[in-house]
Structure 1
Amino acid sequence: MEIIQIVGLGLITTVLVLIIKEQKPMFAFLLTAFTGIAIFLFLIGKISTIIGVLEELANKADINMIFLKTILKIIGIAYIAEFGAQIIRDAGQESVASKIELAGKILIMVMAIPIVSVIIETVVKLLPA
């Protein structure tokens, strides 16, 4: 039940941040950021397991690994952009957080171009001439 550990850590951090925030706001932010990073590091093992299963399924389905790797990179960009934006929001910098989210969306579009191109080419080939 890892979720209980994660939620417990989150609750403890929240109480500590509420106590520290009035006296030392910088320490409160650092505690919040550290907790987020600790949770992310805790989940890296789970993420690698998921990636392994997806690679195995892609091999069985004879899917080009370039597509799977691109999709995994897109998912990674989305998660990292969201994580970074939330930490920046915790520091009270909404405008910077919005820029991080915009950058993530643009990078996702750039990464998706090869996949979209293949889909369009496939659809065009299926259409009667």
Structure 2
Amino acid sequence: MEIVQIFGFALVTLVFAVTLRQQKPEMALIVSLVAGAVIFLLMLRKIGAVVNVFNDLAARANVNLVYLGVVLKIVGIAYIADFGAQICRDAGEGALGAKIEFAAKILILVLAVPVVLAVLDTLMRIIE
């Protein structure tokens, strides 16, 4: 039940940050950012395990690993952008968070173009 531990850590950090915010708001923000970074780092191992499973599945299905890499990059961009946007919102900079999300959408679109072209090329070959 790792989620219970993470929730407990977040709850303790939340109480500490809310209490600290009354006296030193900048320190409360730093505490919140550090807690978010700790939770993110704790999840990196889990993300690595998922990537390994996808690599194994791609190898078994004889899927080009380039496409898997693109999909994993897209997922990574989405998670990192969401995390960054939430940090910006926590700091009271919602507009900056929105700009991060916008940039992520553009980056995802750019990464998706070769995959879409490959799918269309495959469909055209099947139709002919």
TM-score between both structures, scaled by the size of structure 1: 0.96
Q: 1:10 corresponds to which residue? A: 10
Q: 1:29 corresponds to which residue? A: 29
1:32-43 alignment, distance < 5 Å: 32-43=32-43
Q: Which moved more, 1:116-125 or 1:53-62?
A: 116-125
Q: 1:100 corresponds to which residue? A: 100
Identity of aligned residues (%): 44
User: Are 2:76 and 1:76 aligned?
Assistant: yes
Which of structures 1 and 2 has the larger relative contact order (alpha carbons within 8 angstroms, sep 6+)? 1
Q: 1:120 corresponds to which residue? A: 120
1:47-66 alignment, distance < 5 Å: 47-66=47-66
Query: Take 2:32 and 2:105, find their aligned partners in 1: how far apart are those partners?
Result: 25
Question: 1:120 offset after TM fit, Å?
Answer: 1.2
Q: CA RMSD in A?
A: 0.8
Query: Take 2:22 and 2:33, find their aligned partners in 1: how far apart are those partners?
Result: 17
- SS state at 1:62 partner: coil
Residue 72 of structure 1 aligns with an amino acid whose one-letter code is L
Residue 9 of structure 2 aligns with an amino acid whose one-letter code is L
Q: How many residues align?
A: 128
Question: 1:126 offset after TM fit, Å?
Answer: 2.5
- SS state at 1:92 partner: coil
